[in-house]
Amino acid sequence: MVNKATNIQNIITKESIFTSLMILMEKKNFKEISITEITKKAGVSRMAFYRNYNIKEDIITTYLDELFNEYSKEVMQKETLYNYENLRLYFSYFRKHEKLISNLINSNLTNILLEKCIESFYELSQRIFCKNSLLPEKHKFWIEYMAGGLYNVLIEWAKGGMRQSDDYMAKTISEFINK
């Protein structure tokens, strides 16, 4: 029972730290934010921070890992990585996290998002039979191309306030892929 309680407390601590960082990033650039500011805003000790993270960038990478893990679980139910439904899901997931994307853009940290996007697509492509059965050397370039393209579209969409619907974005990208 202690392990379950500890795990729940750990989850709450991480959520508090992440939420506090997002609030602080609305007012300040990421590089100007100290760990002390984050922990004070979150109402947790610095020790609690260091039990979960080594550096403040870890807050973002850990959150993105969880986000892409959730996305991957849903994608795994489909037969291909790049179909309309998965593209709609991609835009839907990031719409829910518009503030995160905006904060990453404003702090010039979108490279972290790109790295996680590429990692996630590599992992997914290993587990899913892609209808584009490519040779391994071409497959790598396909993943980089798709991850980079979706990342850049996501960033531009976010900069424009995500005005277009998830459906519109998925249909548009599907048209590009299927041409």
pLDDT in tens, 49-73: 999 999 999 999 999 999 999 988 8
Give the C-alpha separation, 19 to 56, whole Å: 13
In Å, how far are 11, 33, 114, 127 from 139, measured between CA atoms?
Answer: 36, 40, 18, 13
Query: Could you report the per-residue pLDDT of 105-115, keeping only the tens digit for each?
Result: 999 999 999 99
Looking at residue 30, the DSSP 8-state letter turns out to be G
* pLDDT for the residue 141: 87
- How high is the mean pLDDT of the chain? 90
Please, what is the Cα angle at 89 between 86 and 94, to 5 degrees? 130
Domain locations in the chain as residue ranges = 2-52, 57-177
Between 1.10.10.10, 3.90.930.12, 3.30.1960.10, 1.10.10.60, what CATH number should domain 2-52 receive?
1.10.10.60
**In this model, does residue 79 exceed pLDDT 70?**
no
Whole-structure pTM value: 0.86
The band of 7, judged by pLDDT with boundaries at 50, 70 and 90, is confident
The band of 81, judged by pLDDT with boundaries at 50, 70 and 90, is low
* pLDDT for the residue 124: 82
Q: Which of 77, 159, 72 is nearest to 110 (CA)?
A: 159
